[in-house]
Amino acid sequence: MPNPSTATATAATAPAVPIKPLLAAMMLVVLLGALEQSITAVALPVIASELNGFTLMAWVVSAYLVASTVVTPIYGKLSDMYGRRTMLTCSVAIFVIASAGCALSQSMPQLVLMRVLQGIGGGGLLSIAQAAVSDVVAPRERGRIQGYFSSVWVAASMTGPIVGGYLTHYLSWHWIFWINLPVGVIALMMVRSSLRLLPLPPRDTRRVIDYVGAVLLAAGLTGVLMAITRIGQGVPVFESLNAALLAGGLLVMAVFFWHEGRTAAPIIPLPMLRIPTVAICCSALFMGFFILISVSVLLPLRLQMAGLSPELSALRLLPLTLTTPIGAWTAGRLMGRHGHYKKVMLTGSLVASAAGFVLVLISPQHDLLMTLIMAVMGLGLGTQFPTALVATQNAVQRSQVGIATALTSFSRLLGGAIGVAVMTAVTIALLRNALGDFHVGNAPDGGDAMMQIFRAVISASADANGAALRLAADGAFRQVTLLTAAVSLISPLLLLCMPELKLRDTTEPVAVAD
Tell me the pLDDT tens digit for each residue of 272-296: 888 888 899 999 999 988 888 888 8
Pair 192, 85: CB distance under 8 Å:
yes
Q: Is 439 exposed, middle or buried (0-12, 13-18, 19+ CB in 10 A)?
A: exposed
Class of residue 161 by CB neighbours under 10 A (exposed 0-12, middle 13-18, buried 19+): middle
C-alpha 460: how far from its chain's center? 35
Rounded to the nearest 10 degrees, the angle between the axes of helix 84-103 and helix 57-82 is 160
Helices 276-305 and 367-394: angle between axes, nearest 10 degrees: 160
Cα–Cα nearest to 70, from 404, 409, 400 = 409
Q: Highest-confidence range of 127-136, 191-200, 477-486, by mean pLDDT? A: 477-486
Residue type, 138: A
| SS3 (DSSP) at 504 | coil
Question: Is there a contact between 114 and 102 (Cβ–Cβ < 8 Å)?
Answer: yes
- Taking the C-alpha atoms of residue 388 and residue 409, their distance in angstroms, rounded to an integer, is 11
Whole-angstrom distance, CA of residue 182 vs CA of residue 186: 6
Handedness of CA 245, 248, 252, 257 (dihedral sign): positive
Specify which of 90-99, 330-339, 408-417 reaches the highest per-range mean pLDDT: 90-99
Residue 80 near residue 201 (C-beta atoms within 8 A): yes
Please say whether the beta carbons of 101 and 64 come within 8 A. Answer: no
How far, in Å, CA of 472 to CA of 476, rounded?
7
60 Rama class: left (phi>0) / alpha (psi -120 to 50) / beta: alpha
pLDDT at residue 6 greater than cutoff 50: no
Q: Does 113 score more than 80 pLDDT?
A: yes
pLDDT bin (cut points 50, 70, 90) of residue 13 is very low
What digits encode the pLDDT tens for the residues 175-202? 889 989 998 999 999 888 888 877 776 6
Q: In angstroms, rounded to a whole number, what is the distance separating the alpha carbons of residues 56 and 117?
A: 17
- In the Cβ-directed half-sphere of 98, how many Cα atoms lie within 13 Å? 25
Residue 124 has pLDDT above 60, yes or no: yes
Confirm if 127 and 405 have CB atoms less than 8 A apart: yes
Where residue 7 falls among pLDDT bands split at 50, 70, 90?
A: very low
> Do the beta carbons of residue 113 and residue 483 sit within 8 Å?
no
Cβ neighbours of residue 117 under 8 Å, at least 6 residues apart?
67, 94, 97, 98, 101
Count CB atoms within 10 A of the CB of residue 512: 6
CB count within 10 Å of CB 254 equals 12
Confidence at residue 239, expressed as pLDDT on a 0 to 100 scale: 83
Give the Cα separation of 348 and 381 in Å (integer). 6
CB 295 within 8 A of CB 421: no
* Residues near 115 by beta carbon (within 8 Å), at least 6 away in sequence: 59, 60, 63, 64, 67, 98, 102
CA distance 143 to 504: 12
- Name 425's Cβ contacts closer than 8 Å, sequence gap at least 6: 231, 232, 234, 237
How far from the centroid of its chain's Cα atoms is residue 127's Cα?
Answer: 11
pLDDT, mean over the chain = 79
Selection from 132, 107, 102 nearest residue 36 by Cα: 102
Whether residue 275 contacts residue 396, with contact meaning beta carbons closer than 8 Å, is answered with: yes
Q: 19-39 and 180-194 helices cross at what angle (nearest 10)?
A: 150
Contact 140, 379 (CB under 8 A): no
pLDDT in tens, 323-360: 888 888 888 778 777 777 888 889 999 999 999 999 88
What is the rounded CA–CA span in Å between residue 500 and residue 338? 13
Q: In angstroms, rounded to a whole number, what is the distance separating the alpha carbons of residues 147 and 83? A: 24
DSSP 18: -
pLDDT tens figures, 152-171: 877 777 677 778 778 877 88
Please give the distance of CA 311 from its chain centroid, rounded to a whole number. Answer: 24
Q: Is the pLDDT of residue 75 over 70?
A: yes
Rounded to whole angstroms, how far apart are CA atoms 478 and 325? 27
What proportion of the chain, given as a percentage, has pLDDT over 90? 13
